[in-house]
Amino acid sequence: MSVSAQSEMAEQDHKGCLCSGVFCTMTESNYLHSSGHSQLSVDLHYQYLGWEQENQGHKDCVWIYCDWLTSLLPIPKAGIPSVVVQDPVRYGPLILKGLFKIFSPRKDLAPEKQAVFCHRVLRTIQTVAAESVSLASSVWHSVLMFLLAICDSLLSPPCQPDDLGGQMCERLLSALFEVWLLACAKSFPSPPQWKTLNELCQKLRHRPELIDVWNRCIVGLIRKLLPNLYGPDFPVPTPGTGNVDQQIIVSAQMSEDSLIQSWYRILHCIGNPCDLVQPSLIAQTQTFLQYAFLSQEVVEPSQHPCLSALPRIFLKAIRTVAFVSDSFLGLKTSQIDSKSFSNSGVVTTKDITTLPPVRRPTKSFSGMPSPSFTSTRVPPSSPLLNFITSNNQQSTSPRLEHEIGSQAPEFKPTVALTLHHPLRPKCATLLHLVGEWLFEAAIVGCAAHLSSNKYGSTGNLRRPGSSNDRRVFMQTSASESDTPVTPPGLVIERFDLGRAEALGALCRIVCSKKTGEEIPSVYLARFCLAVQQALKSSEGRNSPEVVSCFLLNAADLFRLDLDGINMLLSPVIDTLELILYPNSPNKSSSFNSPEIRRSCIQILISLLPLPLHFQGLPVRDMSHTLQSRSFGQYWKKLWALICASILNEVDWNNILLLLGAIFSSSADFQALEQRGAPAFSVGMFGADSDSYSNHSLSTTDYSIPEEPSENGDSPMSSIQTHSGSYDSAGLVAMVAATTICQRLISAWKTEVTVTVAVLETLDGLARLSIHKKGSSEAQKVVKSLCELIIWQCSRPPPAHSKDLHSAIVAAFQCLGSWLSPALLNEPECLSVVLEVIELGISGSTSHSSTGQPQVFKHEKLCKPVSLRVRDAAETLLYIVVELVDYFPSVLGASHIGSLLNEETLAARCGSSVSPKDFRYFATESGTILSLLEEPLGNHQDPQPTVTLVLRNPRGRFVWTMQHRQLSRHSSALRGPPPNPGLPLPLTNDLPPIETTPRCFPEVCDLAPEFLVDKSIPSCETVVQDIEDFDILNRLVEQQTLYEKHEIERRALESNERKQCQPPLPCTDFQAARLILSHLGMVTFSGKSEGLPEEIVPLDSEEVFVDLNQIDSFACRNVDTAFLLYVRTGQSTSQEILGNLNSFDSLDEQFLPFVNSLGWKNKSKLGDKRTRYWADATYELKFVLPDDSYQELVESSIDSSTSSKSGTSGTPVESQTLIVWLECFEDSLNFPTGSLIRRLYSSHPVSEVSTNATVIFIHPLRSGLLRIKLVGPSSKWATAPPLLDGHILSKRAVGTVLRQAVLHNARKRRLLFDNHQSPFARRKQKLLEILSRHRSPFVHTSLFHHPNSKKED
């Protein structure tokens, strides 16, 4: 070190010690007792802070100034000169002026040490601003201008390694905005100050910390603003970029007007966020120009390494704008944490360190306008200029490269987790606020964006009153200069993350459209343009991040009444094909996310009804191609997507969505063909159809079911739409069924939830009657179901659980739906079905494939998997034996069995017969026989007649049988001849022949006598030895007289002979024993005479009362669903129930919809208020209650199934409400609890509204119906066929809703272990009757009338 340098340092130390001593002396001795002394002290401090040499005096000066600033507080610190305390308004600005030098970069002081002084000053200023009660406006002005000045001085230059601005950036900006918000509450800044803040923020947009602090400020303001605007019930949002604790606290003293003004001004203080995609515009400041002039490495200001953080800054800015829009919508958003996006948009050090070695043009800045920045030009003597000049030979340090390269975060697309709030503003209002930024950001880098910039931004698409003149002027000026080389870190692809967030925010705004709300056409046009540019793949760029963000937020796009949205049909379907097809070319790995595929499937589900609904209506395409396509021509594409997705999907939530789509689409296709409009006629599968059909646009185009006739077909089924063995709907559905079965056996059978969902879908497809012809595909489905049951039952014991047994029960139920006469006529198919039934009932099969010896059925031990499985197998056996090809009967689908009972039969026989005349028998298995031996009033043809009433767990059945020698047909042909041809009697009477009665013939008299003949003495010889001889003699005499008298009588009647006549027919029979004998229940031969042990007679005196009770038990599962109508704005149960008092003022589509659910049937509520539907195993009743409705005692249409209680079992009934909404948003305020309590008043209060399922239906202007499903949260709650967000046609809504109600009921029963099926409840009651009325049996009672006296 030279001698001069050492002397200079010694001089500086001497000055520092001298000034420090002077300051201490002046303060300790209270020397500053006048204004002159105080002014002198302030000047000395100000001059000393300007010295470059660091010493103790700097610290003392900073500490003294900070203490003196507390004079602005109500209670200042002790030791402050009284002059300063008495006049703080005068000295406060002077002190701030002196402290400004602390924030100037210094060569002699390390940035870390200088930052300590800066932090102390900022803390003091924040304390003064927060704790002051009444500061003068001039003081507030000085404080704000001080903060603006130091931020401009330190932060406006480009980011440099280890500089003071980089270390203090976050702290400075936080202090600036916090103090600014305090000023807004206490002394609102003037317009010039707001303008200065805007200019400063726009100069500092290259600093990522500015966007962070700006975001926190927006969060704090909007959390306080929303309750003031929309009330305390409006949801307060949480910031999307961090914790709520990171927000800037807004003073509670701020008025509502100040709050609104502050929020709006701060929101716009950084200008248009889309300017961040133009580095030349961001770097168009004097500080960047100076750095470019002095640096040998930076050719253009836009090539500075710090600008490589612009993609990240742009992303943060757009997320803040999106957060504002989401907050006003009342949405709760979240960012999907997916590793697929971890490398998207990351700015690496390689991108910012390798600058192009291009020579700097001489006229690069000659045409650069700078009128807006002349006031901020750095003076030549500025320390900042000296700092830049001293470092102009330095290259970018590794630390800066590392910091900038690590700034790009992992991309997490923002999605909405909740629905929008009903009090939210209109979509047009939000688009007026932030739409211009979002629309422009959504097309950044696209052809539309470049075209709009070329001709002056968005031109006439922008809302009137908005202007971008400054940006247009700068772009025009920049275009006149030579085009600089863009660094790799600033290529337009790096901004795709912010573009994706902008498009996602637009989708959330548009998809939150309310019913009846109108969005201006200019906004819809710009939105469609942004989506079309985002999905464009054939020409232009296609960003995976942008496509993903669109898909995640556009699930409801085609579920709303948006004008012109169908123009996006072609690009959206192309995008779905790119993602859902497994081997799509140019497919990004980010598309493999389950969430993205789920969004694609939801969009696909909303598109499926369009081709079948609009059919030949042409689709307008935004690509302006000459070839126009109709809606119907997209059907093949959409169905192929469904089939491809179901074959390759692994996420079970997505599988459930696809299964629901398959069933609803198949039902719609079949209903379309049943209406006589075959799909082939409107170009459904071809591309050469130009015809237009408005067949499905009718407002009454509902498929109204009719009660099946005896042959099992409805009248509608007679309409044939295709001449082949299968119509197109049946072919499509059968292909889908076989595909589903293939996936079920190969991949899904281990997942119980998916298995049950698949079985529900197959059950629904079977109810479409696509299997009745018994094709090979139907046999494959039946065999697959049997294979599934065998595999599930053969799993090891640790794998058996309640859920597994529920899946087995569901498989048996599904198998019963698929059985048809054609399938049972196939020996192989019938054999497999019977083998599965045997397995379910006994737990094993007779035919073993493991080489074990064959076991006959009567030798097996019954060890079923569970009692529920055994009941399901017995039900399937009953379906095979009794119902297939025999249901419905002549009584229709409303009844199983007979309507006759003992009372009606006795009344038919006459008044002399009563139910007590029946003979009652029971079997140990739970069957009761009632036998009546009366001819039922058929006196014209009296025959031995037996009427049998059989009651078993499946129902009540009646037969009448007559015992005949010949059949009725043979008896009619071989009747008795009118003249039997008997011989005529003789007219001449013959003389009577006199005969003497002899004991022996006359021949005996001719035989000689022998001594042996006299071995027996005569009566006369022994008369003396016989006692009571007189008695015997009198008897002989009496007999002699009687015979003599009889001979005389016959002699008198010999002339009055009559012809012989046949006896009269017998009219009193006891034929019950014959029936029992024929049934093998009784035998009268050998030692087994009498009744077997399984047959037990019942006491006929009391059993009839209990039989009437068991007749009231339902034979099928009975469920009730209530239909409600909600007008716009209604939210109370009384208003909703009152809508159905009269049907005149309801929507014209409502009653056709009600009729599509079932057929009319008489009940206590009347035909207008009930719709009924039934099949072999289930009954559904749809009730339209009014405000006077009270729950009826009956739970089914007829009185034979009116009661479902009375046993120890627990019947489980589903609680389902089907609600027609005029306004879709009314579903948010629907009173589910109060309605369930009123409509299901017999249920416990704990079950009310917790197990209820509400299906909301909202009609769209397009003629389709939008579905919203609200139900209990369980693992099977989202299973098909009906899912939340479904779009259905009027043709298919009845079928799909019935299947949904059935599934909801089955799901409830499968979840309860203590549920008793109707079969089990009736069987238990029958066994109770047997045990209560058992009586001893005497076999001779079968030979007498039941009421006659029984002989032993």
* Residue 466 pLDDT: 39
Average pLDDT, the chain: 75
What pLDDT band is residue 469 in, cutting at 50, 70 and 90? Answer: very low
Which runs of consecutive H residues, i.e. helices, occur in 536-608? 544-553, 569-580, 594-607
From the list 946, 948, 954, the residue with the least C-alpha distance to 926 is 954
* Residue 430 pLDDT: 93
Q: Above 80 in pLDDT, residue 235?
A: yes
* Residue 348 pLDDT: 32
* Residue 1176 pLDDT: 83
Q: Bigger pLDDT: 1346 or 104?
A: 104
Cβ count within 10 A of residue 365: 16
- Token output for 1283: 């899912």
Tell me the DSSP string of 632-686.
GGGHHHHHHHHHHHHHH---HHHHHHHHHHHHHHHHHHHHHHHTT--GGGGTSS-
Check: CB of residue 670 under 8 Å from CB of residue 771. Answer: no
Check: CB of residue 815 under 8 Å from CB of residue 786. Answer: yes
Query: Within a 13 Å sphere around the CA of 810, how many CA atoms are in the beta-carbon half?
Result: 32
Q: Bigger pLDDT: 338 or 1057?
A: 1057
- The percent of residues in the chain predicted with pLDDT above 70, rounded, is 70
* Residue 1093 pLDDT: 53
Q: What is the DSSP letter of 1115?
A: S
How far is C-alpha 850 from the geometric centre of its chain's CA atoms? 44
For residue range 565-607, list pLDDT tens digits in order: 989 998 999 899 988 888 777 677 778 888 889 999 999 999 9
- Token output for 512: 């939150």
Q: Which of 158-167, 424-433, 894-903, 1139-1148 has the lowest mean pLDDT?
A: 158-167
What pLDDT band is residue 725 in, cutting at 50, 70 and 90? Answer: very low
Check: CB of residue 601 under 8 Å from CB of residue 591. Answer: no
* Residue 1067 pLDDT: 65
Residues 728-751 have a mean pLDDT of 87
Q: Which of 118-127, 975-984, 1275-1284, 1316-1325 has the lowest mean pLDDT?
A: 975-984
Q: Is 464 exposed, middle or buried (0-12, 13-18, 19+ CB in 10 A)?
A: exposed
For residue range 156-207, list pLDDT tens digits in order: 888 877 778 888 889 999 999 999 999 999 999 999 999 999 999 999 998 9
* Residue 322 pLDDT: 92
What pLDDT band is residue 108 in, cutting at 50, 70 and 90? Answer: low
What pLDDT band is residue 345 in, cutting at 50, 70 and 90? Answer: very low
Contacts of 130 (CB under 8 A, 6+ apart): 182
Kindly report whether the peptide bond that precedes residue 484 is cis, defined as omega within 30 degrees of 0.
no
What pLDDT band is residue 9 in, cutting at 50, 70 and 90? Answer: very low
| Torsion from C-alpha of 488, 494, 495, 500, nearest 10 degrees | 170
For residue range 27-65, list pLDDT tens digits in order: 444 444 445 444 545 454 444 444 454 555 567 777 777
Tell me the DSSP string of 848-900.
-TTSPPP--GGGS----S-HHHHHHHHHHHHIIIIITTT-SBTTBTT-SS-S-
Check: CB of residue 765 under 8 Å from CB of residue 817. Answer: no
Angle 553-559-563 from CA coordinates, rounded to 5°? 100
Q: Above 90 in pLDDT, residue 432?
A: yes
Residues 1165-1188 have a mean pLDDT of 83
* Residue 501 pLDDT: 92
Q: Bigger pLDDT: 1015 or 47?
A: 1015
Q: Which of 896-905, 1062-1071, 1280-1289 has the lowest mean pLDDT?
A: 1062-1071
Check: CB of residue 901 under 8 Å from CB of residue 1111. Answer: yes
From the list 77, 102, 92, the residue with the least C-alpha distance to 143 is 92
Q: Model's pTM, two decimal places?
A: 0.78
Spatial separation of the C-alpha atoms in residues 86 and 155, rounded to whole Å: 36
Mean pLDDT is highest, among 391-400, 1057-1066, 1169-1178, for 1169-1178
Mean pLDDT is highest, among 50-64, 503-517, 856-870, for 503-517
* Residue 1273 pLDDT: 66
Q: Bigger pLDDT: 20 or 689?
A: 20
From the list 91, 99, 96, 100, the residue with the least C-alpha distance to 37 is 91
* Residue 371 pLDDT: 32
Helices (H) and strands (E) in the chain, counts: 47, 16
Check: CB of residue 761 under 8 Å from CB of residue 740. Answer: yes
Contacts of 668 (CB under 8 A, 6+ apart): 608, 609, 612, 1288, 1289, 1291, 1292
What pLDDT band is residue 535 in, cutting at 50, 70 and 90? Answer: confident
Cβ count within 10 A of residue 1163: 18
Spatial separation of the C-alpha atoms in residues 170 and 256, rounded to whole Å: 29
717-724 long-range Cβ contacts below 8 angstroms, 24+ apart: 717/674, 717/769, 719/674, 719/675, 719/676, 721/673, 721/674, 721/676, 721/677, 721/678, 722/673, 722/678, 722/680
Check: CB of residue 617 under 8 Å from CB of residue 677. Answer: no
Residue type, 226: L
Q: Above 50 in pLDDT, residue 1295?
A: yes
For residue range 1143-1172, list pLDDT tens digits in order: 888 889 999 999 999 888 765 555 678 888
- The percent of residues in the chain predicted with pLDDT above 90, rounded, is 20
Q: Which of 46-60, 249-263, 571-585, 1036-1050 has the lowest mean pLDDT?
A: 46-60
Mean pLDDT is highest, among 444-458, 680-694, 899-913, 944-958, for 944-958
* Residue 21 pLDDT: 40
Residues 101-115 have a mean pLDDT of 75
- The distance between the two most distant Cα atoms of the chain, rounded to a whole number of Å, is 198
Residues pairing with 948 in the sheet: 931, 959
Please state the length of the chain. 1352
* Residue 673 pLDDT: 83
Q: Bigger pLDDT: 350 or 796?
A: 796
Spatial separation of the C-alpha atoms in residues 549 and 526, rounded to whole Å: 17
Check: CB of residue 346 under 8 Å from CB of residue 408. Answer: yes
Q: Bigger pLDDT: 451 or 156?
A: 156
In sign, the C-alpha dihedral spanning 658, 664, 668, 670 is positive
Spatial separation of the C-alpha atoms in residues 15 and 26, rounded to whole Å: 16
Check: CB of residue 515 under 8 Å from CB of residue 335. Answer: no
Spatial separation of the C-alpha atoms in residues 521 and 728, rounded to whole Å: 40
Contacts of 835 (CB under 8 A, 6+ apart): 786, 845, 847
What pLDDT band is residue 458 in, cutting at 50, 70 and 90? Answer: very low
- 922: phi then psi, degrees, rounded to nearest 5: -140, 155
From the list 1287, 636, 1173, 1168, the residue with the least C-alpha distance to 894 is 1173
Q: Above 90 in pLDDT, residue 519?
A: yes
Q: Above 80 in pLDDT, residue 809?
A: yes
Q: Which of 315-329, 596-610, 986-1000, 1246-1260 has the lowest mean pLDDT?
A: 986-1000
- Token output for 175: 């202090």
Contacts of 636 (CB under 8 A, 6+ apart): 684, 685
Q: Above 70 in pLDDT, residue 653?
A: yes
Q: Bigger pLDDT: 471 or 651?
A: 651
Q: What is the DSSP letter of 628?
A: -
Mean pLDDT is highest, among 96-105, 631-640, 880-889, for 631-640
What pLDDT band is residue 1208 in, cutting at 50, 70 and 90? Answer: very low
Which runs of consecutive H residues, i.e. helices, occur in 1088-1131? 1103-1111
From the list 689, 702, 695, 777, the residue with the least C-alpha distance to 732 is 777
What pLDDT band is residue 342 in, cutting at 50, 70 and 90? Answer: very low
* Residue 423 pLDDT: 86
Q: Above 60 in pLDDT, residue 1103?
A: yes
Q: Beta strand pairing status for 927-932 and 919-923? A: antiparallel
Angle 223-225-226 from CA coordinates, rounded to 5°? 75
* Residue 156 pLDDT: 85
* Residue 1053 pLDDT: 67
Q: Above 80 in pLDDT, residue 329?
A: yes
Check: CB of residue 1232 under 8 Å from CB of residue 1249. Answer: yes
Q: Beta strand pairing status for 1178-1183 and 1117-1126? A: parallel
Tell me the DSSP string of 176-191.
HHHHHHHHHHHSPPPH
Mapped onto helix, strand or coil, the DSSP state of residue 1136 is helix
Spatial separation of the C-alpha atoms in residues 51 and 383, rounded to whole Å: 12
For residue range 363-383, list pLDDT tens digits in order: 333 333 333 333 333 333 333
Spatial separation of the C-alpha atoms in residues 32 and 54, rounded to whole Å: 26
What pLDDT band is residue 1212 in, cutting at 50, 70 and 90? Answer: low
Cβ count within 10 A of residue 245: 8
Residues 220-247 have a mean pLDDT of 76
